[in-house]
Structure 1
Amino acid sequence: MDRRTPSFGEALAVWAKIGILSFGGPAGQIALMHRVLVDEKKWMDEKRYLAALNFCMLLPGPEAMQLATYAGWSLHGWRGGLAAGTLFVLPGALVVLILSMIYAAFGQVPVVAALFFGIKAAVLAIVIEALLRVAKRALKHASDWWIAGLAFLALYVFAIPFPLIILAAALFGFFRVSTAAPETAVTTTPVPWRQTASTLALWLALWLVPLGLIILCFGRDHVFAQTALFFSKLAVVTFGGAYAVLSYMAQQAVENFGWLTAPQMIDGLGLAETTPGPLILVTEFVGYMAGYRNAGGMWGGIAAALITLWMTFTPCFLWIMAGAPYIERLHNMPRLSGALAAVTAAVVGVILNLTVWFALHVLFATLTRTRFGLVPEFSSLDPAALSLSVIAAIALFAFHRGIIRTLLLTAILGLAWKSLF
């Protein structure tokens, strides 16, 4: 592969493009970055991309955002990582903040709700496309298919915690006997421990010093301190992405803190699902509602939202900036590489679980949780949502339309449907 290193300005434009187009949750975002970085720009090869993806899957926090941060770091060091990670989050964060302000002030706006109705249907098709792309590249052996299938069943049917599934896959991959031919070792440059220690110290300070100052200035019981502490804790336990911690976050935000109601929490998830950026941006909506209700309206909401963003994403930069120099060493550790390959296969099952979860919530109004997972009430099928999803799938698969064109198409159709009916 003919790889080249772009200028910082050229890369900056691509990071901004990825941030604006990053609809569809982690599956769509990972596929989008693969298409741009590996297939189109050729800034990363397949092996390095998957090694970085495997590493990010093991970290707490949004894996797609961390993958973008690593890609930026691999090209231009810390400033590239900072630029790529920030631009991945910023467009969606601005949209979620604006929509949160409108929502808190006026409630659901019919026009916006109608547009989101169409967008959500398109996102379902985008997620399915991304699932197929990732599966095609990750499932190379029969055992990989078994791992993916078992991971899906473990999550969907038995509700086994995501970290246990990842651990089981990693152990299987570690001890699996590889039938592939040995690969040439990749030359790596030793990383001085002082460099790692200084990187850890810097990012820990950027994360924890503001946390301490907020508590010191406002007191532990103030909503700013509560949001800072809560989302700092959440940033450490969000293994498996936002879906893995949504129920815990909703319970704490609604029942313990009283920052918002359960219906508002669901609406916030809808906002995050249909805007660019990681799904964990739903925390920004929760933070805004907390500040809006408990710290003096709009400006309190904006302050709490910014605090939430800082405490949610600063740890992500910490994990990548400290760990990125060691990712290349995975090439020289066959057993560890095998473990991470098995993790990648398991993640296909995780993405399938998210795809099914998303499809059920888009297409059906009534769902029942049984011992075998969520089961829809088929009489509650929304024909309009199904029709729009089929249209989006045809646009993507048959006519190969881009993500933005497909989203615009279904958004307009959704608005027209809601206007007529």
Structure 2
Amino acid sequence: METEGVRGWPSAGPPLNEAMPPDSSPAAATAPDLSKSPPDLLTLFIAFAKMSLAGFGGVLVWARRGIVDHHKWMTADEFNETFALCHFLPGPNIVNLTFVFGSRLRGIPGAIAAFSGLVGPPALIMVVMGMLYHRYGEIDALRRILSGVACAAIGLMLAVVFRMMTPLFKRRDVIALLVMVAVFVAIGVLRLPLPAVLLVAIPISIAITYWVKREAA
């Protein structure tokens, strides 16, 4: 059931102070009630700056680790639900996540602080790296190094995908896993167009979730 978060923003999933289903992992522990004492703007900026600067392999890996495991601002389920919402919105997923998360805690200033921390430091670094690559990019050793970095990045992304799947396995949510596998096969194996798959998968997922919750009630 949708609840109202800080500054009138709807929160993704259950309230932050609501107990989650039993789970032995630290990430699934109940998150603190941030509506009473949300982190200040500087804390948000620094936290997302650290995530972006450590974002080897994609910031999503480090965003989940920082938000769920380190700061415990969200539970694993809440992060998955919020990221799912951001995944279906236009624009980069992790950027959408910073706006939704920051505004949920501190309104528009919070969204700006989180976004600035995410984008600011890497932008400065990439300007410098781009200048260096423009001058030394033809060096063969550098090309081999970048190929190795790409392999490591893929490994990190797969790792965070499995971490995000953990709550589904813990709850033994067979229907959700079947929907996930079906979408993966449609897009990754059959190479069907992403918009078409989403237009079919989203209504089906919503209908199944509604039916399951209705039966459980």
In the alignment, structure 1 segments of 5+ residues that lack a partner are 183-421
Post-superposition shift, 1:165?
A: 1.5
Find out whether 1:23 has 2:50 as its counterpart.
no
Residue ranges of structure 2 left out of the alignment (5+ in a row): 1-29
1:156 aligns with 2:188: yes
Superposition pairs of residues 20-419 of structure 1, within 5 angstroms: 20-25=53-58, 29-138=59-168, 140-176=172-208, 177-179=211-213, 181-182=216-217
User: Aligned partners of 2:206 and 2:105: how far apart in 1?
Assistant: 30
Q: Are the counterparts in 1 of residues 48 and 117 from structure 2 also a CA contact under 8 Å?
A: yes
RMSD (CA atoms): 2.4
Structure-2 separation of matches of 1:84 and 1:97: 21
The one of 45, 48, 61 aligned to 1:12: 45
Q: Partner of 2:26 in structure 1?
A: none
- What is the alpha-carbon distance in structure 1 between the residues aligned to residue 98 and residue 150 of structure 2? 24
Deviation of the 1:129 alpha carbon: 1.0
Q: Report the TM-score, using the length of structure 1 for normalisation.
A: 0.39
Cα shift at 1:7: 2.5
Q: Are the equivalent residues in 1 in contact too, given 2:44–2:117 (CA < 8 A)? A: no
- Give how far 1:20 is off: 0.6
Are the equivalent residues in 2 in contact too, given 1:12–1:84 (CA < 8 A)? yes
- Name the larger-Rg structure: 1
Which structure's residues are more often helix, by fraction? Answer: 1
**Any conservation in 1 of the 2:99–2:111 contact (CA below 8 Å)?**
yes
Q: How far apart in 2 are the matches of 1:86 and 1:128?
A: 27
Deviation at 1:153, TM superposition (A): 1.6
Higher-RCO chain (CA-CA 8 Å, sequence separation at least 6): 1
Distance 1:112 1:69 in 2: 35
In the alignment, the residues of structure 1 paired with residue 76 and residue 144 of structure 2 have an alpha-carbon distance, to the nearest angstrom, of 39
SS in 2 for 1:178: helix
**Contact conserved, 2:137 with 2:143, CA < 8 A, in 1?**
no
Q: Which residue of 1 is the match for residue 4 of structure 2?
A: none
Give the distance between the partners of 1:46 and 1:156, measured in 2 at CA: 25
Instruction: Please tell me whether the aligned partners of residues 31 and 134 of structure 1 are also in contact (alpha carbons under 8 angstroms).
Output: no
Contact 2:57-2:153 within 8 A present in 1 as well: yes
Aligned residues: 179
- Amino acid of the structure 2 residue aligned with 1:96: M
How many percent of aligned residue pairs carry the same amino acid?
Answer: 23
Distance 1:46 1:130, change over 3 A: closer
Structure 2: distance between partners of 1:87 and 1:133: 24
TM-score, length-scaled by structure 2: 0.70
SS for the counterpart of 2:212 is: coil
Change over 3 Å in CA distance of 1:86–1:11 after alignment to 2: closer
